[in-house]
Amino acid sequence: MKWNEGPMSDNVEDRRDDGGPGFPRGIHLGIGGMLVLLVLSLIFKRDFFSLIGDSGALGAGAGAPAQTLSPERQEHEDSLAHLVSAVLDSTQKEWAQILPGLGVQYRPAKVVLFRDEIQSACGSAESASGPFYCPGDEKVYIDLGFYDELSTRFGAAGDFAEAYVLAHEIGHHVQKQLGIEAKVRDAQQQHPDQANELSVRLELQADCFAGVWGGRYQAEGGLDQGDFEQGMNAAAAVGDDRIQKMVQGRVNPEGFTHGTSAQRQRWFNQGFRTKDPKQCDTFGTSAL
C-alpha cells in the first residue's frame, strides 16, 4: 500500500498518554472487540464473551496497567499512528466526494489514539473494546496495540489489513450521517428479537463501505500487489463463525453480530469491485 508518512492529520487526537481508570459500559464493540475478547479468553482460560450483553456492550473489565514503552515499541507505534493518519485523510477525502451525490455533505470524523483506557461520549473504554466508532461524539477510538493482535494471533498482517479496520469504522460514521445507524438502533429497540440480525447487516454494510474506499484508492494507484488479498484476509479474520469456533469450538449462528467470514469478504469485495455505496444495501437483500 502506497502512503506517505507526512504530518499527522488535524483529525487525529493522540491521547496515548492520557489513559484513566474506568470500565467500558454501553460501548458498541468495533471490528476488533471480538478479537481482543478472544485473545483474553485464550490467555486467561476464561470466557470473556460472557461479559457481553445483547447490545454488544462490554459490561465490566479490569483496567490495564500503565505501560513504559521501549524505544523500538514507541517507533513501531508511531509508524502505525502515521498510517492511521494517512488512511483517515484518504477515506474522508473520498467520502467528502461521494456523499453530496447522496444528498449529504460529509462531516469529518476524528480518530482518537489511546493506550489502555480512555473516556468517550459512549462511556469509558479500554483496550479490550478494540477499535470502535462512537456515534455520540463522532470519533473512532483505537489502541494501536490491536494491530499487533490482528497480525500475530489472527494472521491478518499488512498495512492494507490495518487500513481496512479504520475504513470499516469510518463506514459506521458514514452510516450515521446517512441516518442508517439511527434507524437500525430504533429498529433494534422496537424488535429486540431482531437485534443481532440488524447488527450483522449494519456491520456488513460498513465492510462494503470500507471496500468502496479501497476500490477507489486502488483506482488512484494507491495499492500494491497483494493488498486486496490482505483486506480480504482481514475481513475473514473477524468473521463471527471463525471467532466462535476458536473460542467455543463450535458455531452458534444465533449469536452472530458481525457476520461470517464469507459474508464479510463478500461485502468488502462488493464495495471494492463496484466503488459504489448504492451497491452496499445489506438491508434490502435476503441473501447476505
Q: What is the pLDDT of residues 201-258, one digit of tens each?
A: 999 999 999 999 999 999 999 999 999 999 999 999 999 998 888 888 889 988 899 9
Asked whether residue 175 is assigned to any structural domain, the reply reads yes
Q: Are 214 and 164 in contact (CB under 8 A)?
A: yes
| Domain assignment of residue 1, yes or no | no
- In which domain, by residue range, is 201 found? 12-62+69-279
**Is 3 contained in some domain?**
no
Q: Around Cβ 159, how many Cβ atoms within 10 Å?
A: 19
pLDDT score for 4: 86
Question: Does 176 map to a domain?
Answer: yes
Residue 25: predicted pLDDT = 37
Model confidence, pTM: 0.83
Tell me 24's DSSP state. Answer: B
Q: Does residue 138 form part of some domain?
A: yes
Overall number of domains in the chain: 1
Report the run of H or E that residue 207 belongs to, with start and end: helix 195-219
pLDDT at 55: 37
Structure confidence at residue 129 (pLDDT) = 74
Question: Is 17 exposed, middle or buried (CB count within 10 Å of its CB: 0-12, 13-18, 19+)?
Answer: exposed
CB 125 within 8 A of CB 20: no
Low-confidence ranges of the chain (pLDDT < 50): 20-28, 44-47, 50-66
Q: Residue 30 has what pLDDT?
A: 58
Euclidean distance between CA atoms 159 and 273, whole angstroms: 20
193 assigned to some structural domain: yes
Separation CA 229–CA 217 (nearest Å):
15
- Whole-number pLDDT of residue 21: 43
C-alpha cell at 87: 488512511
The reply to whether 6 falls in a domain is no
Q: How far is CA 244 from the centre of its chain?
A: 18
At 51 the pLDDT is 46
- Residue 27 inside a domain? The answer is yes
